[in-house]
Amino acid sequence: MPFAHYQVAYEHPFRAAEVNVLDTHITFEMNATPEEGGDKDNTLALAHTHASRLIDAVNAYLETRA
């Protein structure tokens, strides 16, 4: 059971990320959809960048609670 749960809204192509902060790790699901006719590889690269930033932000938050 997570002790914190976040829903983070993103502008297109990132619709939302569901984030669960657990005792030992962070899980999240991100829905990344390329624009019509868009570059799938570029969309995945952007999703990875946003995911990394999201993890950094949650880790920083957890450090303030320690």
| pLDDT tens, position by position, 5-30 | 445 444 444 445 566 666 666 666 66
H or E stretch at 40 = helix 40-65
Residues in the chain: 66
Q: Output the pLDDT for position 45.
A: 74
Measured CA to CA, the distance from residue 28 to residue 11 in angstroms comes to 17
Q: What is the pLDDT of residue 60?
A: 76
CA 43, 51, 26, 11 dihedral sign is negative
